[in-house]
Each structure stands twice: as C-alpha cells, then as structure tokens.
Chain A
Amino acid sequence: MSKLIRMDHTGHSTLARWTPDDPAAVEAAVRAFREALDRGYLGMVTTGAGHAEHVRELPVNAPLVIMRLPIAGG
C-alpha cells in the first residue's frame, strides 16, 4: 500500500493511503497531494539509493511520497 506523508510538527502525518487499483483511494490521495501543494509543500519521492525526485503530480505507483517545505539559505 502506498502512503502520502507530510513532514510537520508531529514528526509526520499520513495524509493518504492507497493502492493503484482502488480509484477512490487514489482520487483521495491526489486531492490530499494537491491540497498540500496549495499550502506550499513540495512532493518528493525516493528514486533509489541516495536519490530523490521532486514530483508535481502524485506518482500513483510510488510506495512513499513525502511532502516537504521549501528550503532557503540562512
């Protein structure tokens, strides 16, 4: 089962869980993903050892999608 999580003050919150063959769950996950984007979060998926990728649409087949906040120089 795939999971959409958002890093926040709780450590992380699970926004959605879905399987690709469950259209209703996928739709709910896509909605949650877009809401997080609207709130300024960025979608990230791990794409192998030491690699990550920024995603603009929910990758339905990814096992884990992480929403992070933007970074800035201090």
Chain B
Amino acid sequence: MVTAEVLPEVAAVHWRPRVDAAHLARDARRWTLCSLAHVVPFAGAATLLLLLQPLSLPVALVLLAHAWIIPELYAQRGANVLRPRGAAARPAGAGAGDAEPERRSVGLLGDLVGHDARALHARTGLVVEPGQLGTWIVGEAGAVLLHGHRRRAYCYCVKVDPRLTAAKELPSGDRIAHLLLALRSDEAGFATVANLSFSGARWRLRRRLRAELRPALHAALLRSDSGSSPAP
C-alpha cells in the first residue's frame, strides 16, 4: 500500500503524531507497562498478604481476581471494535426493510475486495486487508492491525463520522467500505485518525472475540505470514 496523499480527516487531529512503526512500538511498550501496572501491584499484594497471614486467603483471591479482570476488560474493549453493529447485530428477521440496502452495500464492498475477502466477509462480517504496517481486519466501527513479527494486535475504534446525519443510516457493507477506502488511500493517516482502544498479545484479543469473528483473526494471521499480497 503506497501512500500518495494524506487522508483529509487527519487535519481534524493535527496534534497527533503520524503513526509509523516506531509509534506502534511506543504504543506497545506503553500498553505493556499499563498491563503490568495493573497486574503486579494486585498480584504482589495478594502474595504478601498470604505470606503474612494465610487466613487472608479470601482477600488475596479478590486481589488476584482484580489482577486478572482488569487486563481482560482492556482486551474486551479491544475486541469490541470488531463487534457487528447495525443490521448485522440485530436478530434474524428484525429490520427486514434493511435487506435491500444491506445487499447493495455488500455488493459494492465485494467489488472492492477479492474473492477470499468476500467469502470471509460472508462468514464473519469482517474484511482482511494487507497494508505496509501489517495486516488489518476491518469491521463496521473499528479495525485491528496485526503488526510486527509477533503480530501484536492494535485495536482501533474508527467509523464514519457519527456527527453526520447520513452516517447513522448507512448499511453495514458501506460502513466497512468507508473504512477500507480510507485505509487504502492513507494507511498511516487512517491509524492516526483512529483511536487506539487496546494493544496487546494476539491471544488476549482472540479470547475476547466472539467465536464467529475468530476466523477473520486467523485469516489475517495467515495473510501476515504469507507476506501480505494486496487484494484486488
């Protein structure tokens, strides 16, 4: 993915440094430190309590639960960026009047991606897109980047500007197509505009993803390992 021009939306967040590999590495360190800052004090206090007074086991267990739950909540926040919204999230049969716009939007999205990506979207509602920074999984209201040799997950919350009235009525395929076109035109700008909601090990994200979305993570990983050839 060659960036020719800066994404126009970057002007709205002009104070943010443009995302690149070094920026991602800094984000990764910050998130790791943040996780440690939550886990170590709770786990340490639990250990200390048990050493001082074994009868404090119930309190130590509560502390250990905190040490486990807080990082899990962060990972859940990351997984939520890929959660289906709109029609895809509604129960079957609800919003039947949306069927035609959904079909048309998915048709357009299908024209933008390759056969494999179309099939994956039909299964998961997500699109896998290779880029220079890594491999992306794009959903309706966010995207996940697998970056670096460990394929660390960076979960970004980004969507069609919700302040626009027209954005509220877009079918799911169009929401993804908006993000995909922006990503393809300026990958670093896309990551700059987006809000990072979680960065961590891929397995942490996988555990919090809904089962039907996990094949997209698997496909992105395969795409990363195969050297990232762009889809048509």
Does A pair with B?
yes
A contact residues vs B (CB 8 Å cutoff):
5, 7-12, 40, 42, 44, 46, 49-54, 66, 68-74
Count chain B residues whose beta carbon lies closer than 8 angstroms to a beta carbon of A.
Answer: 55
**Given A12-B108, A40-B164, A54-B185, does the pair A73, B195 have CB atoms closer than 8 Å?**
yes
Q: A50-B130, A72-B162 are in contact. List 13 more A-B contacts (CB 8 A).
A: A11-B103, A11-B171, A12-B108, A51-B2, A66-B177, A69-B178, A70-B161, A71-B161, A71-B193, A72-B158, A73-B13, A73-B157, A73-B158
Contact of A7 among B7, B12, B131, B178 (CB under 8 A): B178
Known: A5-B108, A11-B174, A44-B181. A51 touches B230 (CB 8 A): yes
The smallest C-beta distance from B131 to any residue of chain A, in angstroms, reads: 8
What are 19 of the A-B contact pairs (CB < 8 Å)?
A7-B105, A7-B170, A8-B166, A11-B103, A11-B107, A11-B173, A12-B104, A46-B112, A50-B129, A50-B184, A51-B230, A54-B7, A66-B108, A68-B177, A69-B166, A71-B178, A71-B190, A73-B193, A74-B157
Asked whether B1 lies within 8 Å of A11 as measured between CB atoms, the reply is no
Residues of A within 8 A of B174 (CB): 7-8, 11-12
Are A69 and B167 in contact, CB atoms less than 8 angstroms apart? yes
Given contacts A11-B107, A50-B129, A51-B230, is CB(A72)–CB(B12) below 8 Å? yes
- Measured between beta carbons, the chain A residues less than 8 angstroms from B162 are 72, 74
Bound Cα distance from A73 to B13, whole angstroms: 9
Q: In the complex, what residues of B have CB within 8 A of residue A7's CB?
A: 105, 108, 170, 174, 177-178
Partner of A51, one of B13, B100, B166, B184: B184
Query: Is B141 an interface residue when CB atoms closer than 8 A count as contact?
Result: yes
Please tell me which one of the listed residues A8, A50, A71 contacts residue B231 in the complex, with CB atoms under 8 A apart: A50
